[in-house]
Amino acid sequence: MTPVRPKPASSVLLVRPGSQSPAEVYMIRRQKSMRFLGGFYAFPGGKVDPEDGEPQILARCRGITAAQAERLVPSEDGLPALAFWVAAARELLEETGVLPACDSLGRSVALADATAASRIEALRAAHMVKRAPLGALLGAEGWYLDLEPFRYLSHFITPPSSPIRFTARFFLAPVPVGQSPRLFHEEASESFWIDPAEGFRRHRSGEWAMAEPADCGLGYIAQFDTLAEVWRAHEDGRHKFHGILDRVQAAGVEIRQGADGRTPAAP
């Protein structure tokens, strides 16, 4: 049987200094009713839409050029590489209410305008009902997507045996100054900050259902002693690891996987 062609997707690991650990990562639990990984714990994210690669939104990007993005990520399905960054920022807005944006002078919107919180909320509401393209909504506010803080982390492809597949790019990002993520129930039933080592433990102990990208992302962040070390490790801008299950399976090796998404350890 021919595997389903994977669709481009983006996801974001929002990170902040931890109160009891070097760093905390923001996670959601996907609604159980969702066709893909329903009930699983994950990072905010979703598929790259055609609109994410259109000139109107690309013109409102700051912090990374189209050429720089192309050197880091190949284009997919005719979409420019920069569309992955746009999709990551858009998904943050949709799933957490956080908008990584700056004004024409490069100032974070929350620092530049005391009314930014209500304006972001109104922009999100207009975007969710598709009142206008995101690029037009940003333009009306005089804002730009601030993509400079985003760091490309990893690339995962859903295994060939899955009926729904994605070729997903994962990014690290700090929470924009003056903003906080919130729970929206369109796609998530829970949202929270967690010590990455604790999230990793809960998955490996069988408490949480989690796919390989979330498991690996938490394990990766947990190895650092400070959040500053995380950012220093990403000064080169390049990704740090790839998923392996899809590549192993594509090579003809059978992978036994439990209902919770975990791959059993070898006896």
Please give the model's pTM, rounded to 2 decimal places.
0.91
22 vs 201: CA distance, rounded Å: 16
Q: Which CATH architecture describes the domain 7-250?
A: Alpha-Beta Complex (3.90)
Measuring CA to CA, which residue among 151, 129, 146, 127 is closest to residue 137? 127
233 neighbors 224 (Cβ within 8 angstroms): yes
Domain ranges of the chain: 7-250
Measuring CA to CA, which residue among 125, 132, 124, 133 is closest to residue 50? 133
User: How does strand 144-146 pair with strand 101-102?
Assistant: antiparallel
155 neighbors 239 (Cβ within 8 angstroms): yes
To 5 degrees, how large is the angle CA 166–CA 170–CA 176? 135
Measuring CA to CA, which residue among 116, 232, 118, 227 is closest to residue 177? 116
46 vs 58: CA distance, rounded Å: 18
Q: What is the pLDDT of residue 212?
A: 92
Q: What is the pLDDT of residue 2?
A: 85
6 neighbors 165 (Cβ within 8 angstroms): yes
Q: What is the pLDDT of residue 256?
A: 57
3-state secondary structure at position 55: helix
pLDDT by residue for the chain (267 residues), tens digit each? 788 999 999 999 999 999 889 999 999 999 999 989 999 999 999 999 999 999 999 999 999 999 999 999 988 888 999 999 999 999 999 999 999 999 999 999 988 888 999 999 999 999 999 999 999 999 999 999 999 999 999 999 998 888 999 999 999 999 999 999 999 998 899 999 999 999 999 999 999 999 999 999 999 999 999 999 999 999 888 888 888 776 666 666 665 554 344 444 332
Q: What is the pLDDT of residue 249?
A: 62
Q: What is the pLDDT of residue 101?
A: 97
User: Tokens 């790019």 identify what position?
Assistant: 169
